[in-house]
């Protein structure tokens, strides 16, 4: 043990951070032999405010530790010199009054004192109290040093305290040090502190220490090697709690060892330990990602043929740790945590619902959606969208209609994609009356249709030879500036011709061409717009007022208004 301490102290002296705890070290060196020689003698009595009779000069008048602390702080600020060499003189009268409580109060005024005087005071007080502080003082000081990354001083303090207090360093103190070391990437140092707990500090790690060690290994670092180490530490914990298990779950998930994570999850279930919400999120998220990978297909371009084409190749065995069918465990984990009253984040719930839908497991998706609804998660609307789309793709009319109705009942606002899925499905199934009904609801709820909505309805009406409705819809679609696909337009055009509605054909053509022209203008395709206008005029198609306006406008903006004027005037003259 001696050589270990000396090693640490020498190292501390070498790397000193601006004189922080030098006096602690100094004190230690001077007192080292004394300490060892008095090892067998009983410890000195611990000073307490009650038993103290001040022996120095003017005894301080007040006895309450808060006013003593105020006096000491003010002396430190105003009377102690900047290099602190007069501290013993200035604070002399207070020597006998020192108690852990008082020291802690002074330390807590560190903002007023500044770092250097805080540390000086601590060393001074420690020297006089033989570093027999209450744990709360030591914990506070360790936290203070760690936050300022004074890790060598932190180690010195640990050793000093443990030597003076017959090895009594609290588990809390060690867990603070381990956590901070880990946070600063000093994993090896954290580990060696952890391993030395028994030998150097004679302290049995408790769950706080274990959990901080696992936190460092699993959350901060998490390489295969670190996670293996964590597992071996985890197995030493007699009664692992929420945090031990959750840290372990996170670490295992991070390195993709989902099977091991599930094993721990199963054990937690047996011993009745709940995971933390973030651990559940990570575990479920990873299971979903894994499931998506298992089932994903890769697009492969086949080039050595006359016409290259793409084929889909299932993506198998990309990860040796993969568990096939990760979605089953995901559902099981979700159900288990839900029955314990815990729910994953909205983000993860959406991920799970999406993956279930992708796999066609819509029943499970609906089950989870209903739970999300009951627990008022923010993802409910998105969940409905995803599930309804999936149900529509699988042509599950009744279930989709039921969910859609439920959305409306609950005052949720279906998105365009929901309306489109349902309308397209109903149209494909030839259920035009219901499709129209949904379209009307959509209008009433002020959700604007897009070209997909119109295309579905136009084709369905076209098949019924209902030229009037088809024409109205196409007209409305153009009114919103949507350009139909060629076959959609063609369908209506032929239908009108079949029914001798040639004037409507002309109106439709004029509207279409004008919309195309406006679109070219809006996209800044000036040459194409010019050609379009020219060709329209040649074919005797009138330019609408709004088309003329936008045409002039865009050409004016690039200083070519004349070109357009000329074109339009020639047309007028003809």
Ligand X SMILES: *[C@@H]1O[C@H](CO)[C@@H](O)[C@H](O)[C@H]1NC(C)=O
Under the rule (CB under 6 A), what is the footprint of ligand X?
Answer: 27, 30-31, 34, 127, 130, 397, 401, 431, 434, 451-452, 455, 485
- Residue placing its CB nearer to ligand X in the complex, 455 or 521: 455
Q: How far is the CB of 495 from ligand X (least distance, A)?
A: 18
Provide the Cα torsion 468, 473, 474, 478; round to 10°. Answer: 140
HEC per residue, 165-215? CCCCCCHHHHHHHHHHHHHCCCHHHHHHHHHHCCCCCCCCCCHHHHHHHHH
Give the number of other CB atoms < 10 A from CB of residue 16: 16
Query: What's CA 36's distance to the chain center, in Å?
Result: 52
Residues 6+ apart with CB under 8 A from 478: 484, 508, 511, 512, 515
Contact 512, 471 (CB under 8 A): no
In whole angstroms, give the CA distance from residue 494 to residue 509: 12
Backbone angles phi, psi at 568, to 5 degrees: -70, -35
- Distance between CA atoms of residues 467 and 492, nearest Å: 7
Closest approach of ligand X to the CB of residue 24, in Å: 10
Question: Which is closer to ligand X, CB of 450 or CB of 509?
Answer: 450
**Residue placing its CB nearer to ligand X in the complex, 323 or 397:** 397
Query: What is the C-alpha to C-alpha distance for residues 340 and 333, in angstroms, rounded to an integer?
Result: 11
Cα separation, 490 vs 68, whole angstroms: 95
Nearer to ligand X, 196 or 434 (CB): 434
> What is the rounded distance in angstroms from the CA atom of residue 555 to the CA atom of residue 535?
17
Residues forming a β-bridge with 53:
none
Whichever of 408 and 502 has its CB closer to ligand X, that residue is 408
Nearer to ligand X, 34 or 53 (CB): 34
Toward ligand X, which CB reaches closer, 92 or 295?
92
- In the complex, least distance from residue 394 CB atom to ligand X, rounded to whole angstroms: 15
Residue 455 Cβ vs ligand X, minimum distance, rounded to whole Å: 4
In this complex, which beta carbon is closest to ligand X, that of residue 314 or of residue 481?
481
* Region for residue 494 given its phi and psi (left: phi exceeds 0; alpha: psi -120 to 50; beta: otherwise): alpha
SS3 524: coil
- E strand segments, 417-541: none
135, burial (CB in 10 Å: exposed 0-12, middle 13-18, buried 19+):
middle
Closer Cβ to ligand X, 380 or 400, answer by number: 400
Comparing CB distances to ligand X, the nearer of 377 and 435 is: 435
Q: Determine the Cα–Cα distance for residues 531 and 537; give it in Å rounded to an integer.
A: 10
Contacts of 375 (CB under 8 A, 6+ apart): 343
Which of 38/506 has CB closer to ligand X? 38
Residue 431 Cβ vs ligand X, minimum distance, rounded to whole Å:
4
Q: Smallest distance from the beta carbon of 395 to ligand X, in angstroms?
A: 11
Q: Which is nearer to ligand X, 401 or 461 (CB)?
A: 401
CA 31 from chain centre, in angstroms, equals 51
Q: What is the DSSP string of 293-333?
A: HHH-EEEEEE-SSSS-EEEEEE---S-TTPPS-THHHHHHH
Give the nearest distance from C-beta 474 to ligand X in angstroms. 12
CB of 404 to ligand X, least distance (A): 9
The DSSP bridge pattern shows strands 309-314 and 297-302 to be antiparallel
Determine the straight-line distance between the first and last CA of the chain, rounded to whole angstroms.
109
Q: Cβ atoms within 10 A of the Cβ of 62, count?
A: 10
C-alpha distances (whole Å) from 157 to each of 76, 126, 177, 178, 552 are 22, 10, 11, 14, 82
Minimum distance from CB of 345 to ligand X (Å)?
33
Nearer to ligand X, 147 or 522 (CB): 522
Instruction: List the helix and strand counts (H, then E) for the chain.
Output: 30, 2
**Least distance from ligand X to the Cβ atom of residue 462, Å:** 14
Cβ 426 to ligand X, closest distance in Å?
7
Residue placing its CB nearer to ligand X in the complex, 375 or 437: 437
């Amino acid at each position: 043990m001696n050589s270990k301490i000396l090693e640490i102290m020498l190292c501390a002296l070498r790397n000193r951070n601006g004189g922080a705890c030098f006096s602690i070290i100094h004190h230690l060196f001077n007192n080292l032999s004394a300490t060892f020689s008095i090892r067998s003698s009983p410890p000195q009595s611990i000073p307490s405010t009650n038993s103290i009779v001040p022996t120095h000069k003017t005894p301080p008048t007040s006895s309450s530790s808060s006013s003593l602390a105020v006096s000491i702080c003010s002396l430190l600020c105003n009377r102690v010199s900047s290099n602190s060499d007069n501290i013993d003189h200035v604070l002399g009268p207070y020597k006998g009054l020192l108690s852990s409580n008082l020291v802690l109060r002074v330390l807590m005024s560190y903002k007023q004192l500044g770092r250097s005087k805080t540390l000086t005071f601590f060393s001074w007080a420690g020297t006089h109290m033989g570093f027999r502080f209450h744990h709360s003082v030591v914990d506070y000081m360790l936290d203070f040093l760690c936050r300022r990354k004074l890790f060598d001083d932190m180690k010195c303090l640990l050793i000093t305290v443990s030597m003076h207090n017959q090895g009594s360093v609290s588990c809390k103190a060690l867990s603070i040090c381990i956590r901070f070391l880990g946070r600063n990437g000093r994993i090896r140092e954290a580990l060696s502190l952890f391993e030395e707990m028994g030998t150097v500090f004679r302290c049995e790690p408790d769950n706080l220490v274990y959990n901080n060690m696992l936190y460092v290994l699993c959350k901060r670092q998490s390489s295969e090697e670190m996670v293996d180490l964590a597992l071996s530490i985890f197995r030493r914990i007699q009664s692992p709690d929420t945090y031990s298990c959750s840290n372990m779950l996170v670490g295992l998930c991070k390195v993709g060892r989902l099977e091991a994570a599930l094993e721990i999850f199963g054990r937690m279930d047996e011993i009745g330990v709940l995971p933390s919400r973030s651990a559940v999120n990570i575990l479920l998220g990873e299971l979903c990602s894994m499931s998506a990978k298992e089932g994903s297909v890769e697009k492969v371009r086949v080039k050595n043929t006359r016409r290259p084409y793409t084929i889909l190749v299932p993506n198998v065995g990309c990860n040796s740790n993969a568990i096939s069918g990760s979605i089953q465990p995901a559902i099981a984990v979700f159900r288990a945590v839900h029955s314990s009253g815990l729910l994953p984040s909205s983000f993860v719930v959406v991920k799970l619902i999406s993956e279930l839908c992708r796999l066609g497991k819509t029943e499970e998706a609906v089950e989870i959606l209903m739970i999300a609804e009951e627990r008022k998660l923010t993802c409910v609307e998105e969940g409905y969208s995803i599930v309804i789309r999936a149900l529509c793709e699988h042509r599950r009319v009744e279930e989709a209609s039921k969910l859609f109705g439920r959305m409306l009942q609950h005052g949720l606002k279906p998105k365009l994609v929901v309306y489109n899925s349902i309308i397209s499905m109903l149209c494909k199934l030839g259920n035009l009356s219901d499709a129209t009904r949904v379209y009307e609801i959509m209008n009433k709820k002020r959700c604007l249709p897009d070209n997909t909505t119109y295309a579905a309805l136009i084709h369905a009406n076209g098949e019924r030879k209902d030229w009037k409705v088809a024409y109205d819809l196409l007209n409305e679609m153009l009114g919103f500036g949507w350009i139909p696909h060629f076959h959609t337009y063609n369908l209506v055009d032929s239908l009108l011709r079949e029914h001798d509605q040639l004037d409507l054909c002309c109106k439709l053509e004029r509207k279409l061409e004008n919309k195309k022209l406006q679109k070219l203008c809006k996209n800044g395709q000036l040459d194409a717009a010019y050609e379009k206008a020219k060709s329209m005029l040649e074919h005797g198609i009138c330019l609408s007022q709004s088309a003329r306006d936008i045409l002039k406008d865009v050409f004016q903006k690039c200083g070519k208004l004349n070109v357009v004027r000329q074109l339009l005037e020639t047309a007028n003259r003809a």
